[in-house]
Amino acid sequence: AVTGKFRNEFKVSREAVTNLQTNISDQNLWDKACLCRAMGPREWLPLTVMRDPSRYSGPYGLGSPVVWGEADEGECGMGEWFARELMRRGVDMADWLGMRWIYKPADGNKASGIKIFHDIQDLEDFLVSLGDDPQVGVIQEYLESPWLIEHALDPNDKEFHALKLHKLRAKKFDMRIFLLLTYEPCEERGHDVSWVRGYLHQDGVCRFSTADYDISDLTEENRRAHLTNNALNKGDAEYDAASNLISLQDLERLMPSGWSLEHDFYPFVRDQIGSSLAGYISEGELPRRGYQLFGIDLMLAVNPEDLSRPRIFLLEVNLRPKLKIPDEVSVEFQRSVNSIIDDVILCIERHHFQDSERPAEHRQNRFQPIVQISWGD
């Protein structure tokens, strides 16, 4: 379907289509757990731990907490194992015992298999129930103070904010953005230098839940208050694609006065998340030229130090992001997101457009270069 899209809409050469097919990464770099691990200690990543019994020897097959460094190995319960790391960071034990947790299967999608736990004991009971199940999963600190649009007391667009607030008050949301990484080892084409390049797409999707956020109710029946996955929420009677899915540009209109994508969002993603992923890939083995399109899920959380400037957190990195936008959403927004694949080919096989009906220089590419890492002679 993808290659047909390239041929039918762009009339690029068969060579370009073949290159796209063969250059898609088949390396073992791309699993959700590895990518969480790659982030290392970051203030914008909640405490994140991986479960992979085939890889780790910690309690219940857990790897070391990402944020708090390497855990001591040895026989101990999970609570003690976590506590050692928290003590190193000076985290108050009262706060630790009251922390909530979320578990996500590494290969899951559409909110399948996601569970939220009231405390560490509930989480440990769940891990015990998995037994010898080889399932790989990500355990993450649950962010309990999401930023909601009613927190913008003086929004950028007051009229638009009042209109959306009627439908989206108390609704949690996240942001799906798109990051393209391309890489080429020096041996591929006889170069002296290997490189990894990163591109951030200027468009993304904000996905709102359909139930009012309530941290006291973590039951399965109330999943739609906590999980913003569109596949889960679109089955609710209150779902309205035109309201529950909005563009990044519309989110900017709902944010506090002075908050902007150009100043408060894109630089953070570029300098923190994009550069971290590119750096991780540059440290691995790149057997051939390739690329990967990632769906990056972010969430805004209340910043107690500045209520008008929410903090940005990375939730997860997805390897097969869905690009279809429902018909109810504006045609302009639909066209923008659906053009992402078009923009990918402009980044990686640009020269194949030179003889087409619309040359590359006449095509708008919403991917912006954000990072380039090179090494070699």
pTM over 0.85: no
Q: For the chain, give the secondary structure using H, E and C.
A: CHHHHHHHHHCCCHHHHHHHHHHECCCCCCCHHHHHHHCCCCCCCCCEEEECCCCCCCHHHECCCCCCCCCCCCCCCHHHHHHHHHHHCCCCHHHHHCCCEEEEECCCCCCCCCEEECCHHHHHHHHHHHCCCCCCEEEEECCCCECCHHHCCCECCHHHHHHHHHHHCCCCEEEEEEEEEEEECCCCCCCCEEEEEEEEECCCEEEECCCCCCCCCCCHHHHHHHCCCHHHHCCCCCCCHHHHEEEHHHHHHHCECCCCHHHHHHHHHHHHHHHHHHHHHHCCCCCCCEEEEEEEEEEEECCCCCCCCCEEEEEEEECCCCCCCCCCCCHHHHHHHHCHHHHHHHHHCHHHHCCCCCCHHHCCCCEEEEEEEEEEC
The pLDDT value recorded for residue 1 is 32
The residue whose two tokens read 């029946």 is 221
The per-residue pLDDT for 310 is 94
Per-residue pLDDT of the chain (377 residues; tens, 9 = 90+): 333 333 333 444 445 444 544 444 433 334 444 555 555 556 777 777 778 888 777 778 877 655 433 444 444 556 666 666 566 656 666 667 778 999 988 776 777 889 999 988 898 899 889 988 888 888 888 999 999 999 999 999 999 999 999 999 999 999 999 888 888 776 655 566 677 888 999 888 899 999 999 999 999 889 999 999 888 888 888 888 888 989 899 999 999 999 999 999 999 888 888 877 777 766 666 666 778 888 889 999 999 889 889 999 988 887 777 777 666 666 666 677 667 877 888 887 766 555 555 555 556 788 888 888 776 65
pLDDT number for residue 189:
57
The pLDDT value recorded for residue 144 is 93
Residue 323: is it exposed, middle or buried by C-beta count within 10 angstroms (0-12/13-18/19+)? Answer: middle
What was the pLDDT predicted at 13? 46
